[in-house]
Structure 1
Amino acid sequence: MSNIEPVRALYAAFAKGDMPAALATMAPDIVWNEAENYPYADRNPYIGPEAVLHGVFARIGGDWEGFAATPDEFIDGGDTIVSLGHYTGTFKATGKPMRAQFAHVCRVKDGKIASFQQYADTLGTAVAMGR
């Protein structure tokens, strides 16, 4: 199996709202970091799938309507997979839409995502959030 497969599976599961499948792509000790100055970076690093679920995914679900993380391109660096794409959604509290670029760097070990680092358009997100 290619190291891209668990990363693709994470996006596919997240898009369907299948959180058990999304969490299954992660190593038990995954280290997940949101981008500096991103709204969900306040609890970095998130260690383990449950921390990601409650600290990132659940908060996104509560804050955004129609949130999506859509990868446009994958760059295969062996154990390091980079995905480039866009976030879209509407911030519930303001009703403002967002389209923001992202780059995600995933390190894959033994078929699971062992680490995740987000780089994102923090201004685009902040504007939608009314900040």
Structure 2
Amino acid sequence: MSTTLDVVKGFYAATQTHDDEAIVAMLHPDFQARTAPGMPCGAGGSFHGTRDAMMRIWGAVFRDFDTAAYAETWQETTDGTVVVTGHYRGAARATGRAYEAEFAHFWRVTDGRISWLHQYTDTAAWRAALE
């Protein structure tokens, strides 16, 4: 049986290989996400539901960026929230410009699947790569 931390680590592995099916499989049917409002390509805001979140967040990001999230620190809190910090690294597909943007992710897992994400990131770094 996977621990909460294992589930979250699996998510990062799936994003690094752009494995859309694995990402969807890891998301709880009642998945909720809140991403940085300034994210480009319509990926910022509040999202609910597995397919909606997948397409509107990661589908849009993977369409416009060759990118992945690289976790550097992991902390599980006493209430079961997993806090991860690290950097997104990649390049904008339209311009070829590389970027690196710091992030902080807050995760919750329910019934072995990711049920909640709150993301903070340096949206200016993402946008600069598109210009």
TM normalised by structure 1 equals 0.89
Q: Deviations over 1:19-71 (max 9, x none)?
A: 11111111101001111222211xx3211110122101111121013x11111
- Structure 2 counterparts to residues 8-87 of structure 1, below 5 A: 8-39=9-40, 40-41=43-44, 44-65=45-66, 67-78=67-78, 79-87=80-88
C-alpha separation in 1, matches of 2:18 and 2:125: 24
Task: Give the 4+ runs in structure 1 shifted more than 2 A.
Answer: none
C-alpha separation in 1, matches of 2:13 and 2:21: 12
Is there any run of 5+ residues in structure 1 with no aligned partner, and where?
A: none
How many residues are paired up? 127
Shift of 1:110: 2.0
C-alpha separation in 2, matches of 1:14 and 1:122: 18
Is there any run of 5+ residues in structure 2 with no aligned partner, and where?
A: none
- Partner of 2:125, secondary structure, is helix
Q: Deviations over 1:70-100 (max 9, x none)?
A: 1111111142001111111111222211001
The amino acid that maps onto 1:113 is: I
C-alpha separation in 1, matches of 2:18 and 2:94: 21
- After superposition, the CA RMSD in angstroms is 1.3
C-alpha separation in 1, matches of 2:124 and 2:18: 26
Partner of 1:107: 108
- Partner of 1:45, secondary structure, is strand
The amino acid that maps onto 1:87 is: Y
**Equivalent pairs: percent with the same residue?**
30
